[in-house]
Amino acid sequence: MREFFNLSTSAKRFRFIAVTEALTWVGLLVGMFFKHVTQTTEIGVKIFGPIHGLAFALFVVIALATARELRWSWQVTGLALLSSIPPVGTVVFEWWAVRKGHLAELSKRYLGSKTPTESVPVP
């Protein structure tokens, strides 16, 4: 758990904000369910709406900064940005990016002794 809060590299910051954005998205969806389906309370939307808005904006900024630092192609950068639209898409993208070698030391740890470019062709 302590490793999750280590924000010392762009890949680790990207992972943190991807998970944060996804969790706030889920919180907002739950809040919208209670507001619109059960019509019992708006508190979930009032709490998670602004938090998710901030998390989304930070995700876009951190994704662009990570793309620049790690020299992502425009296709990978576009996928990262598009992943913020569907709920939990940022976590799915992060999972994919680690396995395809796009997240520096996080990918190296997953891929073992092979470097990301040796094991997976980067588009």
Q: What is the pLDDT of residues 75-113, one digit of tens each?
A: 999 999 999 999 999 999 999 999 999 998 888 877 765
Residue 114: per-residue pLDDT: 55
CB 13 within 8 A of CB 80: no
3-state class (DSSP) for residue 120: coil
Residue 54: per-residue pLDDT: 98
Provide mean pLDDT across the span 6-35. Answer: 94
Residue 117: per-residue pLDDT: 47
Task: Provide the residue ranges of all domains of the chain, joining segments of one domain with +.
Answer: 2-119
Provide mean pLDDT across the span 43-72. Answer: 96
Q: What secondary structure does DSSP assign to 32-55, as a single string?
A: HIIIIIS-S--HHHHHHHHHHHHH
- Please give the model's pTM, rounded to 2 decimal places: 0.83
How far is residue 11's CA from residue 13's CA, in Å, rounded to a whole number? Answer: 5
At residue 55 the predicted structure's pLDDT band, cuts being 50, 70 and 90, is very high
The two structure tokens encoding residue 40: 């019992």
How far is residue 14's CA from residue 49's CA, in Å, rounded to a whole number? Answer: 21
